[in-house]
């Protein structure tokens, strides 16, 4: 009872002691760590970005045929499906008849040129235009086709 002898009111003493215990419990109390939230991304839903802002997508349109390239299809609707892991499928859909599929792989370089390698060893080249969401078919020298023929060598992004 030393405090009572020094004329310290009991109410003030209780206030000081209670405050000390309160602050001590706030700073020394152990709290359970909460784990960070887990974000699950479905690989099928993710989008991979490549050079020139290219992403996995499909492009469709009617391309002119050269030689027996289209077989008996005439000028079918051509769809190029660029898939994850550099896989791709070229689909030829004639107005009537059976659909033709060709599997292959693709790469895109810094100049926005897409090189497609088919399983039979043949290759095709396209230039990607991000601003207009189109790709242009190129010749074997990776250049645009000359003249009015070139206006028909574009496929538009479908998804």
Direct distance between the N- and C-terminal alpha carbons of the chain, in angstroms, rounded to an integer: 84
Average pLDDT, 10 consecutive residues per value, the chain (159 residues)? 56 65 54 64 54 84 68 70 89 73 90 92 91 89 82 83
**Quick one: fold of 51-157?**
Lipocalin (2.40.128)
pTM of the model: 0.63
Give 123-130's long-range contacts (Cβ < 8 A, gap of 24+): 124/90, 126/80, 126/155, 128/52, 128/54, 130/52, 130/53, 130/54
Give the per-residue pLDDT at 121. 92
Give the per-residue pLDDT at 97. 66
């Amino acid at each position: 009872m030393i405090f009572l002898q020094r004329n310290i009111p009991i109410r003030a003493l209780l206030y000081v002691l209670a405050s000390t215990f309160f602050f001590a419990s706030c700073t020394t109390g152990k709290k359970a760590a909460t784990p960070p939230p887990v974000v699950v991304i479905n690989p099928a839903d993710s989008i991979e970005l490549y050079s020139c802002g290219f992403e996995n997508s499909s492009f469709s349109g009617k391309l002119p045929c050269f030689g027996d390239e289209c077989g008996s299809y005439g000028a079918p609707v051509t769809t190029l499906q660029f898939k994850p892991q550099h896989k791709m499928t070229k689909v030829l859909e004639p107005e009537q008849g059976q659909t033709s599929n060709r599997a292959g792989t693709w790469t895109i370089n810094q100049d926005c040129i897409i090189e497609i390698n088919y399983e039979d060893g043949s290759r095709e080249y396209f230039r990607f235009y991000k601003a207009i969401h189109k790709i242009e078919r190129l010749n074997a020298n990776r250049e645009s086709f000359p003249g009015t023929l070139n206006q028909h060598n574009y496929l538009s992004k479908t998804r």
